[in-house]
Amino acid sequence: MQYTKIENGYMIYVEKDEKIMESLTQFCIKNDINNAQLSGIGAVRNIEIGAFDTKNKKYIRQNFDNTWELVSYQGNVSLKDNVPFIHAHVTLSDHNLDMKGGHLFEATVAAVGEFFLRNIDNSVFRQLNEDVGLPTLCMIDEC
């Protein structure tokens, strides 16, 4: 991974064969980033994405081994159990330009992974929401 500090955050290059979620999470831990907004593009493989089944309160997961374009990566960073946690969604395109998308569990960079992290000066954290079945964002005054 390579990175450079920019106004209000970082430009991050996750390199070939590095795992995106693992790398970005470790970056946040090492740089004491607790709240942020993430965006990115690139080319990925060994992808696991999903969609949350609200009735059964669990994720439906799918894996894709081939190389896909990472058309869009949107996410946020907040504290979950006092550790930076990344919640991200992606849009992917195969070589036929067919699209898939969903919650990103993990993906490995196949060629490039270019990300922007914008620091947010806030105290937002995640706490289990029993009704939803997931740890959801909590604002200090409202949980």
Question: What number is the average pLDDT over the span 11-31?
Answer: 98
DSSP 62-117: EEE-S-EEEEEEEEEEEEETTEEEEEEEEEEE-TT--EEEEEEEEEEEEEEEEEEE
What CATH number has the domain spanning 2-138?
3.30.1330.80
How much is the average pLDDT of 14-21? 98
The pLDDT score that the predictor gives to residue 142 is 64
**pLDDT for res 37:** 98
Q: Which helix (H) or strand (E) holds 30?
A: helix 20-30
Per the CB < 8 A criterion, the answer to whether 100 and 68 are in contact is: yes
Domain positions in the chain are 2-138
The pLDDT of residue 139 is: 84
